[in-house]
Amino acid sequence: MASELGMVQSQVYSSLKRSEECGLYSYEDKRVNKVALVELIVHAVRFLIPGTLGPRARGIPTAWAHRAAFAGLVAGVVDPPVWPMVRRYDDLSGLDGVVDGIAVAPLHEKAPQAAMRDSKLYELLAAVDALRVGRARDMEMARDFLRKKLLAG
């Protein structure tokens, strides 16, 4: 899991232990409490990890600029929110590509790299960013999207 997320093993272990302490994860069952996770994300993430739109940057589209997660949405902001590029990425398969937009700090510094390796994770992270920096309509679409994706099955 650590290598897939681009994190060190100790960070993943600490995160799982904290998640278990607050009822989001069962270490014994190796299961995520999906209902609790969705409730935390849709109601608290914008307060716990607030996002702000920064200066113009070149980067990977996120929030409502992610085409798959927000198909059909016409954003009220002309420039799309992006995770700013820190270095040149060779493989952008599964991503919307690199565009000019307004910078948004990702949830974690390794989130863009992890999203590059997993298009489903990218969709989820983009939806979480819509909760962090979006307007009411964007946030409602993101809540619906996250509930559908995380509670399905």
Q: Where are the alpha helices (DSSP H) in 27-109?
A: 34-48
pLDDT of residue 16: 87
Sign of CA dihedral 61, 62, 64, 69: positive
Q: Given a cut of 50, is residue 136 above it in pLDDT? A: yes
Q: Given a cut of 90, is residue 110 above it in pLDDT? A: no
End-to-end CA distance of the chain: 22
Sign of CA dihedral 103, 104, 105, 109: negative
Residue 5's contacts (CB-CB under 8 Å, 6 or more residues apart) are 12, 110, 114
Rounded mean pLDDT, 52-77: 78
Rounded mean pLDDT, 101-119: 90
CA atoms within 13 A on the CB side of 76: 8
Strands 81-84 and 53-61: antiparallel
Each residue of 28-40: pLDDT tens digit?
898 999 999 999 9
pLDDT of residue 88: 54
Q: Given a cut of 90, is residue 143 above it in pLDDT? A: yes
What is the C-alpha separation between 38 and 17, in angstroms, rounded?
A: 18
Q: Given a cut of 70, is residue 93 above it in pLDDT? A: no
- Residue labelled with tokens 């993430």: 45
pLDDT of residue 151: 94
What is the C-alpha separation between 106 and 57, in angstroms, rounded?
A: 13
pLDDT of residue 71: 67
pLDDT of residue 90: 44
